[in-house]
A and B are shown apart, each in its own frame.
Chain A
Amino acid sequence: MDQLLQFVFSGLTVGAVYALVALGFTLIYNASDVINFAQGEFVMLGGMVTVFAVAAGMPLPLAALVAIAVAVATGLALHRLAIEPARGASAVTLIIVTIGASILIRGLAQMVFDRQFHALPAFTGEEPIRVLGASILPQSLWVLGGAAAIVLALWLFMERTLLGKAVRATAANRLAARLVGIDTTLVLALAFGISGAIGAIAGILITPITLTSFAVGTLLALKGFAAAMLGGMGNPVGAVVGGLALGLLESLAAGFISSTYKDAVAFLVILGVLFVLPQGLFGRRAVERV
């Protein structure tokens, strides 16, 4: 029982990061039908830039802000330099563009930073908190709390502000969005910028627990993608649920079967979803009259 609870805690922590990556996928997918496989690189940049900024003598909060700014700038540049010039190309072409971009970003990170693994100090101490016989790291609470705060902020933006509604309108019907005067190019740039910020924050929060290196983005992108598929591509609630569920599955598989197969879980989930539930858990089944 204690052990199970322990696996649940660590699963939810990792799952929260997958959920944030999946949210980034969802945002961009909804604005453009593009699946941005460079999403994992934002997470990598968040961790790596923070590590190196701290090493250069910056206080952690400032370093984190710098890292977020770098990721946002990378997201905007990706949109401006790679996606926008290819406008009108098929979604598959654009997806391949994002894969190329992710390889480029990883390569640059390797040159600018290094090939080592790096850690950050935990934000508020390393002393585990005992809960019902299991222990939870204070940093896990930061991850879960941070993820919850991002989800809430994003929800408020989407539901309560006119600009957020314009993003949803663009997702629902791009032609109509352009006809009411929404600059859909700007909306897409915004989606890339926000996705960059969300990814970076996820990377900063998780680095004290899982370490980071220039290469962590690839696997994170795949797992975030699996999470988004599980939840139903394009559905933000699905992204969060899918992320947490994938984290739990992984943690339980690592705990009860073998940690060797931990990374296989995400791929089994992708295959399972494609075979059994192509729409995902929260896929679009909305009834619309036409």
Chain B
Amino acid sequence: MLRVEGLRSGYGRIEAVKGVDLEVAAGEIVALVGANGAGKTTLLRAISGVQPITAGRIVFDGASIEALLPHARVARGIAQVPEGRQVFAPLTVEDNLRLGAFRRGRAETETTLAEVYALFPVLAEKRALPAGGLSGGQQQMLSVGRAMMARPRLLLLDEPSMGLAPLLVDQILEAVVRLRAQGLTVLLVEQNASAALAIADRGYVLETGRIAHAGAGRALLDDPRVREAYLGI
């Protein structure tokens, strides 16, 4: 479904992603793990089109999308839950969600809204409150819900566990597994490698802008090199 070839991107003279190849097949959960500053966020932003690339290709559903503007990529079916949640703080919870469906029709929006509220009932309770007042965990749910509103086929998740209590992390990751069961494809970026690899079909380990290891989620979890470097075991 998604194929990234030789992708390079950076900030000024600093190159953060130095030629990455990766692939995500339809229906998979693929985890992208690695230390802080390995280039994970840059890579996801490049796929969404909000970070310029200097070389490489991004192929989605067989078509090159690297020249498309971000909103055109959303329309094609790629949604992202950005690092740090990035909710629209002054707007209400419901407005945040409706804006997630900015590229969708009105009728569709209502059904999806009901689905998101069913997935995260707490959001329905707080629908009329400003998003900035929600707790960190609720904001994360809102951010996932907002991405779901676009009815994506590929969901990019950037550090959904960041700053959350373990119980909430489980809740968010459970939601991801449930969404996959409904046919969604997921590319999950995490510093919390053990949690991410545990639910992933396959994983990539990113090290200073390059893929260092790749394999099945469980296999990476059991790989002594990965365990030592990223899991602290």
Contacts and interface: CB of A to CB of B under 8 A. Distances in A.
A169, A173, A176, A287 — most chain B CB neighbours (10 Å): A176
B173 interface: no
Nearest to B83: A175
A183 B71 contact: yes
Contact of A180 (B84, B100, B135): B100
A173 B90 CA distance: 10
A180 B102 contact: yes
A169 B132 contact: no
Contacts of B134: 289
A176 B103 contact: no
Given A176-B82, A289-B136, A182 B102 contact: yes
Interface residues of A, number: 21
Interface in B39-75: 48-50, 69-71, 74-75
Interface in B107-155: 132-136, 139, 146-147, 149-150
Contact of A289 (B86, B99, B102, B135): B135
A165 interface: yes
Contact of A179 (B86, B90, B132, B136): B86
B15 interface: no
B82 A172 contact: no
Interface string A143-171: 00000000000000000001001101100
B50 A179 contact: yes
A132 interface: no
B69 to A, nearest CB: 7
B86 A173 contact: yes
B80 interface: yes
A211 to B, nearest CB: 40
Contact of B48 (A165, A172, A177, A179): A179
Interface of B: 48-50, 69-71, 74-75, 79-80, 82, 84, 86-91, 95-96, 98-100, 102-103, 132-136, 139, 146-147, 149-150
